[in-house]
Amino acid sequence: MKGEKNSEHPTVLVIDDEHIIRDLLRTMLSSAGYEVITASGGREGLTLFGQQRPRFTLLDLRMPDMSGIDVLREIRKVDPDASVIILTAWGTDELENQARKLGATDFLSKDMTFDAIMASTERVLQREALTPVTQSASGSGTAAFAGAAAAGAILVVDDEPQICDVIAQALTHRGYRVKTASNGPEALALVEQEKPALIILDMYMPGMNGNEVLKRLRKMAYKSAVILLTASQDEKLLKEACEMGVMDIMGKPLDLGRLALVVELGLLVKHK
């Protein structure tokens, strides 16, 4: 719907070719009361921009089909005053200057924190003399996660640092206490120190795969929920995992929204 200036829940358009970044931003911004639409490339983003006229846009600087600078130029043809926040994992003074000359509202690194993103988006709304949206607007504020921090920590085990970081940021924002491990032995050592309320476990890791970790956990009498992550469909391994009582098996790339729901369910089951 066009005319977002009067919308109670401002619409944000996220344009980024990295699936995991789009999911993280969707989770963060949705939980803060924004309506989020996403595009995986510049051309798709421009189509959505013309159709939806978002309150503001988070735009990746580097994409394979169309650079963020080119997308910003096209956005300016549609709406010279549109608020656009540039995202980048790399940047130069020249690129930043180009973005500024085209009226970019802000310029954020992709090693962003939730606080940095929210501070930038709230500055956009303040410039428009509007009241920033709070978490209560989405119905998923502090009350929705009451008791989350009081539960034991959630342990995320994955040999890919970016996966660990994205899941940890998403769950920490939702009120959970999160620990991470990059391999099986490190995870088991953490479990011996403090039994987590729930474990999110990658199937394929060097040295010790997820099922081997599961076997060790069962020998340690760990009975809380385990969510298994996998990019493969090895039926033998998945059947073995199911027989050891994993709560859910989720494919990669992750759907962070679904993961959050499964985590919440896993903790509810534990405390019944």
For 11-38, how does the pLDDT look when each residue is reduced to its tens digit (9 = 90+)? 999 999 988 788 878 877 887 778 999 9
pLDDT value, residue 111: 56
pLDDT value, residue 93: 67
CATH code assigned at 20: 3.40.50.2300
Q: Is the pLDDT of residue 207 over 60?
A: yes
pLDDT value, residue 130: 36
| Mean pLDDT across 225-238 | 88
CA distances, 133 to each of 31, 35, 121, 139, 249 (Å):
10, 11, 10, 12, 34
- Which tops the pLDDT comparison, 42 or 174? 42
Say if CB 102 and CB 114 are below 8 A apart.
no
> What residues make up the domain containing 183?
147-270
Do 127 and 165 fall into the same domain?
no
Domain final residue, candidates 90, 117, 138 = 138
Do 125 and 203 fall into the same domain?
no
**H or E segment and range at residue 157:** strand 154-157
Q: Is residue 115 very low, low, confident or very high in pLDDT (cuts 50, 70, 90)? A: low
Strand order in the sheet with 11-15: 35-39, 11-15, 56-60, 83-88, 106-109
Token look-up 């189509």 returns 47
Q: Which two tokens stand for residue 107?
A: 């310029």
**H or E segment and range at residue 198:** strand 198-202
Q: Is the pLDDT of residue 233 over 90?
A: no
| Mean pLDDT across 33-60 | 93
